[in-house]
Amino acid sequence: MKQHLSIIIIGASGDLATKKIFPALFALYCRKLLPEPFSCCGFARTAMDVDTFREMLKRHLTCRYVPDEEECPALMDKFLARCFYVTGQYDLHEDYKRLADILDKNEKDGLSVTRIFYYSIPPFLFIPVSHSLKQAGLTTDIADKRLNRAVIEKPFGRNRASSDRLTRELATVFSEAQTYRIDHYLGKEVIQNLMALRFANLVLEPLWNRVNIAHVQITWMEDIGVEGRAGYFDAYGIIRDVMQNHLLQMLALTAMSEPLSLNPEYVRDEKVKVLRSVAPVTLNDIVVGQYTGAEYKGEKRRGYLEEDGVPPDSITPTYAAAALKIRNRRWDGIPFLIRAGKGLNDRKTEIRVVFRDVPANIFGAVSTPPDANELVIRVQPDAGISLSLMNKKPGLPMSLHKTDLNLSYADVFPEEIPDAYESLILDVINGDKSLFIRADELAAAWDVFTPVLSELESCTIRPQEYPFGSEGPRSAVALAALYNTHWR
Ligand code: BG6
């Protein structure tokens, strides 16, 4: 049955909307993946007419999927002709009535409609916006006529209690089935591949446990600072900004057991199970840091406390490293060492599975002992997977040499890799929830970090300083050493 699709972006003049959401919608349009008919409507406080809005959107659209460059301007114009804009206050339901009028006008008579409300707004607006949408009569499903979905971006609360409150409040407007909580890392190609890598290959599963694996490292590093987002960042910090969500999701997909099938509920059941087995982090298991001013790549970089909008006595961590323990049969005793930081000396995200040493080294007399094998899943920047193996170094003597089997996405997959938002928005349109965070999963993830966040903040623990462009605070090295290893 033909249906109309209406996508409503609340906060349409902001960075996320203009740089990620609209370009992703346009990419789907170019690939003919948006259902017909469809229309988009932006809503935000900034006063502007629809032409100015379209001009603003156009600056960020690219034709990556259009082979013939000459077709591009016409395609952009066709897409933009479906985009509308309403200026309004987020908490005034009268303003949403004007939005409702535009939606009604755009949606073709007689067709049923799916409306997707995308919250591209700061978290403190989630509740007022939801209530105003409800008061304006926009959130009620009408059987066979109108279905509504809401897409919500992290951070979902600041700890377990505030996250539960948010979940409860939102549930009075959109049911759990209608709610899509986005963690954009789950839309990244290499992260989606984790399930295929682990469960579509026979060789890994027998090794994937405490018997063969010594530890797992999950690294997330950026060599930039807070880049104009100090207001948001200072209120949240690196643990809430990336660890509780992006890193825990990577951990869950690495550590979970095989789901019964790809049914979204079964996948999320397994993630919840493993997240519930993670012991809450304690102060002994974590190190926090904050970058200070330094010269990096020939440029003077400001310290976190000098960034505009950061209070001079802020104790917000820009770096954290933690040792997580999973209390189940597969992983008992195996540390998952995770670290995340801004203002470091590299930009990379990866999962590194470090296997145990080979027992009874028979090469001892002729060579240095074999290094442990490592499987590295490189999420970015150079997406790929590599497995280090020991081999005989060519030559007369028997000596061992560590080499990598390397699968580089750029070499093996010539096709354009979709942006995470393209993949996730298409899933919302298709009603597929596998890559979205379920309420119980969110609660389990908060349980891992809530106690330690509360201790760090109530005891006013000052993060250890590290210079911008370094490897992070020295105490992170000591944390890894506690587990007889070092960060790779
Ligand atoms: C966001 C964080 O979720 O992810 C940012 O709020 C971070 O602090 C960003 O910079 C990184 O995303 P990506 O896709 O560039 O790795």
Provide the residue ranges of all domains of the chain, joining segments of one domain with +.
3-153, 186-417+451-481
Note the pLDDT of residue 109.
Answer: 75
Cα 241 to ligand 1 centroid, rounded to whole Å: 8
Cα 5 to ligand 1 centroid, rounded to whole Å: 29
Q: Can you name the residues that pair with 295 across neighbouring β-strands?
A: 300
Note the pLDDT of residue 68.
Answer: 85
- Report which protein residue has its CA nearest ligand 1's atom 14: 185
- Report which protein residue has its CA nearest ligand 1's atom 6: 241
Note the pLDDT of residue 417.
Answer: 92
CATH architecture of 3-153: 3-Layer(aba) Sandwich (3.40)
- Report which protein residue has its CA nearest ligand 1's atom 4: 242
| Helix 248-255, helix 264-277: angle, nearest 10 | 100
Note the pLDDT of residue 296.
Answer: 97
Instruction: Evaluate: CB of 241 within 6 angstroms of ligand 1.
Output: yes
Cα 218 to ligand 1 centroid, rounded to whole Å: 15
Q: What digits encode the pLDDT tens for the residues 343-402?
A: 999 999 999 999 999 988 888 777 777 899 999 999 999 999 999 999 999 999 888 999
Cβ atoms 342, 487 nearer than 8 A = no
Tell me the residue type at 76: M
Q: Do domains 3-153 and 186-417+451-481 have the same CATH topology?
A: no
H or E stretch covering 410: helix 409-412
Note the pLDDT of residue 370.
Answer: 83
End-to-end CA distance of the chain, in Å?
53
Residues in the chain with pLDDT values less than 70: 1
Note the pLDDT of residue 233.
Answer: 96
Q: What is the number of other CB atoms lying within 10 angstroms of the CB of residue 74?
A: 9
Strands 294-296 and 146-153: unpaired
Of these residues, 4, 246, 401, 486, which one is catalytic? 246
Active site residue 486: no
* Mutation probe of ligand 1 site: the residue of 229, 246, 347 with most atoms within 8 A of C-beta: 246
Note the pLDDT of residue 79.
Answer: 97
Cβ atoms 319, 470 nearer than 8 A = no
Instruction: Evaluate: CB of 242 within 6 angstroms of ligand 1.
Output: yes
* Mutation probe of ligand 1 site: the residue of 15, 19, 120, 184 with most atoms within 8 A of C-beta: 184
Looking at domain 186-417+451-481, its CATH class is alpha beta
Q: What digits encode the pLDDT tens for the residues 130-179?
A: 999 999 999 999 988 999 999 999 999 999 999 999 999 999 999 999 99
CA distances from 319 to 120, 372, 468, 469 (A): 26, 28, 11, 12
Separation CA 129–CA 126 (nearest Å): 5
Q: What is the number of other CB atoms lying within 10 angstroms of the CB of residue 486?
A: 11
Mean pLDDT of the chain: 95
Tell me the residue type at 286: I
Q: Which of 274, 287, 283 is nearest to 481 (CA)?
A: 287
Cβ atoms 132, 92 nearer than 8 A = yes
DSSP 407: E
Cα 409 to ligand 1 centroid, rounded to whole Å: 21
Show contacts of 95-103: CB within 8 Å, 24+ apart.
95/43, 95/132, 96/43, 96/132, 96/133, 96/135, 96/136, 96/138, 97/136, 99/8, 99/41, 99/43, 99/136, 99/138, 100/136, 100/137, 100/138, 102/41, 103/6, 103/8, 103/39, 103/41, 103/138
Instruction: Evaluate: CB of 422 within 6 angstroms of ligand 1.
Output: no
Separation CA 413–CA 407 (nearest Å): 10
| Helix 93-106, helix 126-135: angle, nearest 10 | 60
Calculate Rg over the CA atoms of the chain: 24
299: region left, alpha or beta (phi > 0 left; psi from -120 to 50 alpha): beta
